[in-house]
Amino acid sequence: MAGTGLTWIRRDLVRWLNGTDVKRCEDMLWMLIYIRDPRKIKIGKLALVEGREVVAKAEGTYPMYAWKDIWGRLKALRLRAKRSSGKQYLSGHRWTYIIVMLVATAASALVYLVFKRDKSEVYPVTKFEDKLKEVCANPRLPMLEYRGVQSFFEYLTRPDDSHCYSWVEFGGEKIPIPSQSEMECADEVRKTKYICFNEEYEMTHDPCLVYSFGKDEDNQFERDMQMFSCEVHAFDHKKVTEAEHVQRSEYWREHAWNIAAFPYDLPGEGGKVELRRSLDYIATTLRHTGRQIKFLKSDLEGREWILLQQVITSLHTLDVRQIGVRLHISSDVNKKTGEARHQYFAKLFQVFQGLQCAGYKYVMGRAVRYYKGVVRIPELGNTTYFPAYEINWAKVV
């Protein structure tokens, strides 16, 4: 719309002004055009539409501020500048109203630029591989060596049980379900998250900030954490449907976001859009930059590997003290050739290496026994493993 109708109005209004302070009016109209459309934000090589909170101009990005209301009023006037023999068909009182609104828009922008800090919505993308090299150049814990598929499972099945001497459960409604595994399992699914309460992690001290990626149906983990006086932010693009941001209680807020390596909107069926956001974007938008996240919880059905990479690439933004995730191993690994399987686990093992170099000690690992199927590893004599594990890391402080 900005590229056609509003440009038309701009030309006719400038001509109507007959050279009176034309540049100023052109600037106002130019600004107004970009308030509405195209509102494109450049992120790396990707241009995406972000129309909710910010708009983009060539020389910077500014919040919508008071411009939304002004645009709505201007749109309501249904201005139509018709060029016919050089005559204008807009009434005088409407032109007066337009000019007043434009002046108000310019004034709002000026006030913001003078009194507010410029917040750029351009998010540089840090490649995980580059950050891995940087972090492991000076590792906080001994570097892990990948010697083949066996290295992955040796690490997965050998946590350092001695690091945490105090554990507390959060969440954990008992949900009895029949076993779906090829192995017999009479356990109940509790969906419990364990948090290390060693003194150095100061879990009983304020402030307490918790991130939860992927909600359970009962929301018990989020309820428990906010009752523990922690500020909880839950992220789930499938279960948060009322709005992009929902305030459940004073200390519990939810966001319709999914994790990604960089922020973008993914169009889906029926006109739906999946909002994918990086950890840097999340921290910046929620004003958590530089904050300490005492616990980061995840059950993302496979995208937790991206989240863990984001923890490493965002070390400069957030100080995540503990991580509790459900790790998933794709059952497709059983169909891979030896070389493809080697490459698959080598790539996943890089996440373990990055966490180790960044100072995260693997302190607890539990198999999730009710998932269907097993992972079979020919290189290890066709040894079978569960396709999912509950894993905890704690940062050495």
User: Looking at residue 219, what is its pLDDT?
Assistant: 87
User: Looking at residue 327, what is its pLDDT?
Assistant: 94
User: Looking at residue 290, what is its pLDDT?
Assistant: 92
Q: Tens digits of per-residue pLDDT, 137-180?
A: 999 999 999 999 999 999 999 999 999 999 999 987 665 555 55
For the chain, give every domain's residue range: 2-115, 128-395
Both tokens assigned to 214: 């992927």
In the numeric block, the tokens 């497709």 are attached to 332
User: Looking at residue 165, what is its pLDDT?
Assistant: 94
* Between 103 and 251, residue with greater pLDDT: 251
CB count within 10 Å of CB 175 equals: 13
- Per-residue confidence band for 57, with pLDDT thresholds at 50, 70 and 90: very low
Q: Is the pLDDT of residue 72 over 60?
A: no
293 DSSP assignment: E
- Cβ atoms of 276 and 263 within 8 Å: the answer is yes
User: Looking at residue 95, what is its pLDDT?
Assistant: 66
Q: Tens digits of per-residue pLDDT, 177-216?
A: 555 544 444 445 567 899 999 999 999 999 999 999 998 7
* DSSP helix/strand/coil, 372: coil
Q: Is the pLDDT of residue 75 over 70?
A: no
DSSP 170-192: EE---B-----SSS---PPB--E
* Between 229 and 21, residue with greater pLDDT: 229
User: Looking at residue 189, what is its pLDDT?
Assistant: 55
> Cα–Cα distance between 174 and 269 in angstroms, integer?
35
Report, as an integer, the average pLDDT of 132-137. Answer: 95
Report, as an integer, the average pLDDT of 107-131. Answer: 64
- Distance set, CA 348 to CA 172, 286, 305, 321, 333 (Å): 28, 29, 8, 21, 12
- Per-residue confidence band for 104, with pLDDT thresholds at 50, 70 and 90: confident
Q: Tens digits of per-residue pLDDT, 236-291?
A: 999 899 999 999 999 999 999 999 999 999 998 888 899 999 999 999 999 999 99
User: Looking at residue 123, what is its pLDDT?
Assistant: 60
- Per-residue confidence band for 372, with pLDDT thresholds at 50, 70 and 90: confident
Q: Tens digits of per-residue pLDDT, 317-369?
A: 999 999 999 999 988 999 999 999 999 999 999 999 999 999 999 999 999 88
- Per-residue confidence band for 131, with pLDDT thresholds at 50, 70 and 90: very high
| Omega before residue 38 within 30° of 0, cis | yes
Question: Worst-scoring range by mean pLDDT, 99-113, 130-144, 224-238?
Answer: 99-113
Q: Is the pLDDT of residue 113 over 80?
A: no
User: Looking at residue 120, what is its pLDDT?
Assistant: 43
Q: Is the pLDDT of residue 107 over 80?
A: no
What class has domain 128-395?
A: alpha beta
- Among left, alpha and beta (phi > 0; psi -120 to 50; other), residue 34 is alpha
- Cβ atoms of 312 and 386 within 8 Å: the answer is no
Mean pLDDT value across the chain: 76
User: Looking at residue 101, what is its pLDDT?
Assistant: 78
CB count within 10 Å of CB 235 equals: 24
- Per-residue confidence band for 100, with pLDDT thresholds at 50, 70 and 90: confident
Radius of gyration of the chain from its Cα atoms, rounded to whole angstroms: 27
User: Looking at residue 122, what is its pLDDT?
Assistant: 57
- Per-residue confidence band for 10, with pLDDT thresholds at 50, 70 and 90: very low
81 DSSP assignment: -
- Cβ atoms of 13 and 83 within 8 Å: the answer is no
pTM, entire model? 0.68
